[in-house]
A and B are shown apart, each in its own frame.
Chain A
Amino acid sequence: MTVLAEFYAAHSKLIDQVGLDALLALSLSISLQAGQLALAQAAFMGVAAYISAILALNAHWSLLPAMLVAALCSTIVAGLLALPVRRLRGIFLAIATIAFGEIVRIVANNLQISGGAEGLSGIPPDATTPWIYGTLILVAIGLWLFSRTKFALAIALVREDENAARSVGVDVGFVRFTTLAMGGAIAGLAGALYAHSNFFITPADFGFGRMEQILVWCVIGGITSPLGAAIGAALLTILPEAIRFLADYRDFVNGAILLVVVLFAPRGLAGIRLWRRG
């Protein structure tokens, strides 16, 4: 037991990070399952992180209500984004959502209430490991239950062939809206938890770099597999630390692994598992 406790003590930061990254990967995977390349998760995360932090710092809210309100806000933002982009597909949707993310980041960079470029600091570190993993487990269970509903089938149909989906009665617009909103909610939970486990947040934390990372995890894990996405996140979060001894070559190895997976395991990790069962 003490071995575990020691392991935890030595690596708690990393363990927390893995949990948060897994949540973020799950949030994107829902949109990807609907075939939507909606790359605004980092922005949703940021919105919730800031709102949660502001509530905690200025109004002394405790973690749970702050987190819930923050996630509600990021969900609303996601829903509002879904409206103007409803006709966009593929790379056009991707770029539009990237633009949106940048605008959110710049807004946070310029407003006083968000602390400008310096961000906010002194956020009470309420989001301990149990909070993070508790949320992750609840979200995971929720998504698993959700995967058994008819709506989940609708999501797959929209991904496979939008027009054929319409011809069997699927309201494609509603599916796209809902998956975006769900992604906003989960990313929001992750954002609030991130703020409350990191002491300080800056606009740069929620920019395109973070978004790229989340996308990479999902692709590595397998685009249509939420479990794969979460595992991809975990793996690629742990990996840089595990190969820390490689020091300067760490990034290089990261990029190389990404390349190898993309070139040789096109359906990601989930794909590899499927092949073995073959």
Chain B
Amino acid sequence: MSAGLQLAGVTVAYGGVRALASATLEVAPGSVLGLIGPNGAGKTTLINATTGIVPLAAGSVRLNGRDLRGVAPHRIARAGIARTYQNIRLFAALDVFANLAAGAFARPGRLAAAHAQALLERAGIAHVPLAARAGALPYGDQRRLEIARALAAEPSIVMLDEPAAGMNPTETAHLVDTIRAIAASGIGVLLIEHDMSLVRAACDRIVVLNFGEVIATGTPDEIVADPAVIEAYLGTESV
């Protein structure tokens, strides 16, 4: 039984379109795997397939050795996979504490206030009051609250979908520390991002998607020099 998240040959099809074709990657516990690619490459689809929201046409998803194919999304969440969303999906009308309690829903017992505060610290927003309405927080704090909510589940794997979107360079730099700290605590992190400086600084390894296919896998230095990657990114992001 191998720990961490393994995707092997994962294929997702919408009608006749293959959004993801035979994707294979691995997120080891305590490491950060970056997932990059142009818009529409299938990155969010990969997260959706892993969390059971979209069905797999082929391939397998294994978490700590357990096959997750066909498992309902809420059970996959309980098995230890947490995620954040590209467009923030906090429970905006509820307060910060309720959002964290929501994250900890699958854990036995109730979330203690002290533990909630600790979660906020890990996510870098210790200053945010627990009673504040989640939807009223500044944008950057909302993104980090989503991360805190994901951590509240005490997951094996956290998947972050463009957590730096809309952040300025200072905030982004802080995010690197946050992500590395999460990995240091033993969690495997899958990071989808467009900001290459964040990806290079935070990730141990990177997987590159284009048109639903994995076109490269390797360390940040290897990826930056990979001709297939450069071609895919030509004219879009700067590496």
Chain A positions near chain B (C-beta within 8 angstroms): 150, 153-154, 156-157, 160-161, 163-172
Count, chain B residues at interface, CB 8 A = 26
What chain A residues lie within 8 Å of B101 (beta carbons)? 153
Closest chain A CB from B135 CB (angstroms): 10
What chain B residues lie within 8 Å of A172 (beta carbons)? 74
What chain A residues lie within 8 Å of B78 (beta carbons)? 169
Mark contacts of B43-84 with chain A using CB atoms, 8 A cut-off: 1 yes-contact digit, 0 otherwise.
000000001010000000000000000001111011000110
* Cβ-neighbour of B103 out of A154, A161, A168 (below 8 A): A168
Asked whether B91 is an interface residue with its Cβ less than 8 Å from the other chain, the reply is: yes
Provide the bound-state CA to CA distance between A169 and B83, in Å: 11
Between-chain CB contacts (< 8 Å), 25 pairs: A150-B105, A153-B102, A154-B105, A156-B94, A156-B98, A157-B102, A160-B94, A161-B91, A164-B85, A164-B89, A164-B90, A165-B102, A166-B73, A167-B77, A167-B82, A167-B83, A167-B89, A168-B82, A168-B106, A168-B153, A169-B74, A169-B75, A169-B77, A169-B153, A170-B105
What chain B residues lie within 8 Å of A153 (beta carbons)? 98, 101-102, 105
Closest chain A CB from B103 CB (angstroms): 5
Provide the bound-state CA to CA distance between A164 and B134, in Å: 14
Return the chain A residue nearest B81 by Cβ: A167
Provide the bound-state CA to CA distance between A168 and B51, in Å: 11
Q: Assess the B149–A168 pair: CB atoms within 8 A.
A: yes
What chain A residues lie within 8 Å of B89 (beta carbons)? 161, 163-164, 167
Closest chain A CB from B201 CB (angstroms): 27
What chain B residues lie within 8 Å of A167 (beta carbons)? 51, 73-74, 77, 82-83, 89
Chain B positions near chain A (C-beta within 8 angstroms): 51, 53, 72-75, 77-78, 82-83, 85, 89-94, 98, 101-103, 105-106, 110, 149, 153
What chain B residues lie within 8 Å of A168 (beta carbons)? 77, 82, 102-103, 105-106, 149, 153
Q: Assess the B51–A157 pair: CB atoms within 8 A.
A: no
What chain B residues lie within 8 Å of A166 (beta carbons)? 53, 73-74, 77
Provide the bound-state CA to CA distance between A169 and B102, in Å: 9
Q: Assess the B105–A160 pair: CB atoms within 8 A.
A: no
What chain B residues lie within 8 Å of A150 (beta carbons)? 105, 110
Provide the bound-state CA to CA distance between A186 and B220, in Å: 60
Closest chain A CB from B78 CB (angstroms): 4
Return the chain A residue nearest B84 by Cβ: A167
What chain A residues lie within 8 Å of B74 (beta carbons)? 165-167, 169-172
Q: Given A167-B51, A167-B77, are A157 and B105 also a contact pair (CB < 8 Å)?
A: yes
Closest chain A CB from B60 CB (angstroms): 21
What chain B residues lie within 8 Å of A156 (beta carbons)? 91, 94, 98
Q: Assess the B91–A169 pair: CB atoms within 8 A.
A: no
Return the chain A residue nearest B73 by Cβ: A166
Provide the bound-state CA to CA distance between A169 and B91, in Å: 14
* Cβ-neighbour of A163 out of B53, B75, B92, B153 (below 8 A): B53
Return the chain B residue nearest A160 by Cβ: B91
Which 8 A/B pairs are nearest by Cβ-Cβ distance? Answer: A169-B106, A169-B77, A169-B78, A160-B91, A164-B89, A166-B73, A166-B74, A168-B105
